[in-house]
Amino acid sequence: MLEPGFEAHPDHTGFAHYIIHTCDSPQLAREGLPAAEKYAAIAPSSPHALHMPGHIFARLGMWQENIDSNVASVRASEYAEKHHLGGATHEIHAYEFLIYAYLQQADDANAKRVLDNTKPMAAHLHSLSDTAPDGMAPFISYVQAEFPSIYNLEMHNWKAILAIPEPANFIVSTKYFRF
């Protein structure tokens, strides 16, 4: 249903965005690849638009493309923060995909760098939450448990996983999660 609209309007961000969401599974990812390959060029200053192709790239094991997409998203998030634009806290979602992609490429050093930056990043982004209402702020506490979990699962460090503390101000809202 979305593909004819995207073909007719190849520069429409909405079509690309929703095709990527619709195809965000290993079974459908190949169908979303054209939208993923185009989306970043449609909205090159949007942290979220730069990140979204990573959903498809990750499902297809396109790790370097995933890394490139999410590094660009982090840079756009930093730019957004510096210039008081929306999108600053989207860097947490980009880092979420980066840590996993680095681990899939056996780039343990960069994965560890993301992990080591988790607490300072979360603290910094918490300080922005009133000025960055871009939808990602509720996940800041969540990633403090998620990033060490991803890293230590991939490293088979079971003791470290069991030692991960619940972050302060940990909020799970049914608005964002369906149980």
Residue 175 lies in a domain: no
Residue 179 lies in a domain: no
Residue 158 lies in a domain: yes
pLDDT at 127: 80
Residue 18 lies in a domain: yes
Q: What is the CATH number of the domain that holds 114?
A: 1.25.40
**Interval 107-125 mean pLDDT:** 92
Residue 174 lies in a domain: no
Q: DSSP string covering 36-88, please?
A: HHHHHHHSTT-HHHHHTHHHHHHHTT-HHHHHHHHHHHHHHHHHHHHTT-TTG
Q: Residues 59, 29: contact at Cβ < 8 Å? A: yes
Q: Residues 101, 68: contact at Cβ < 8 Å? A: no
On average, the pLDDT of the chain sits at 87
**Interval 46-53 mean pLDDT:** 93
Query: What domain range is 62 assigned to?
Result: 2-162
Residue 132 has pLDDT above 60, yes or no: no
- E-only strand ranges, 67-164: none
**Interval 51-75 mean pLDDT:** 97
- Domain total of the chain: 1
Helix (H, G, I), strand (E, B) or coil at 140: helix
Nearest to 95 by CA among 47, 129, 37, 133: 47
Distance, in Å, from the CA atom of 148 to the CA atom of 137, rounded to the nearest integer, reads 19
Residue 110 lies in a domain: yes
